Structure 1
Amino acid sequence: MDNVYFEYSHAFQAVTEFYAKDALDLQASQTFSGIINLEKTVICSLAAIIRYLKEFNLEKVLSKPKNFKQLSGEMEFMTINGTTLRNLEILQNQTDMKTKGSLLWVLDHTKTSFGKRKLKKWVTQPLLKLR
């Protein structure tokens, strides 16, 4: 796409035109005001997506923005690199490189393979904040 479609003024106009036609009742107008108050980069991206989907007559997917979710820039999980996992013996011990003796081995009282995978994820990617 041309860069003009990513310029804020053009993007704002395209998004306004796309959502204004449905803003007839109170709930729709509240939704509309929520959309036009999005960050500039989001408006620019939304306009480009609307234009792209119009080429395939699929723009109706975006007509109900109640499913839009704000993505957070904050990290939810701690990222632990491989060296740290190895040195802290999280998944395997350093003596014979087996699970026995590792943190995962101590904590693992799971009964299913799904539970084992979930526990492994929790141990290797701990939360940064309490929910």
Structure 2
Amino acid sequence: MAAVACLVAGAQVVRLAAVFTLAWTHSVQKSEWQEDWRATPGGLVLQEVRVQGSGAGMEPPEGAVRAGGFYVARPQLAPQLSVILRRSGATADWRVCTQGRCRPMGDLVAADADPVELKICD
């Protein structure tokens, strides 16, 4: 059976897909950041990062090239057992994109859940 990612917020568990994108807008720079992830038996693999601009802690990753209005990079990061997503309430919510459709994370788990863990489903 193929690996699938889940969002875990307290007792709430939401199955995503094997391939998905996390997206958000930086609170100061108002620049878009997108990360493509793939669930594997060994963990979550970051496949590609796209950053609309730079500044205020949003520097494009090393080796990024400019394409289509974004800096695009393929970071060499070891598979992650989990990724913790924090929600301050001071910025727009994370967006979770699967099969070409993006939704605020609050459509999937409680809007006030913090932190939310992204991990491989059990």
Which structure has the bigger radius of gyration? 1
TM-score by length of 2: 0.20
TM-score by length of 1: 0.19
Larger relative contact order (Cα-Cα within 8 Å, sequence gap ≥ 6) = 2
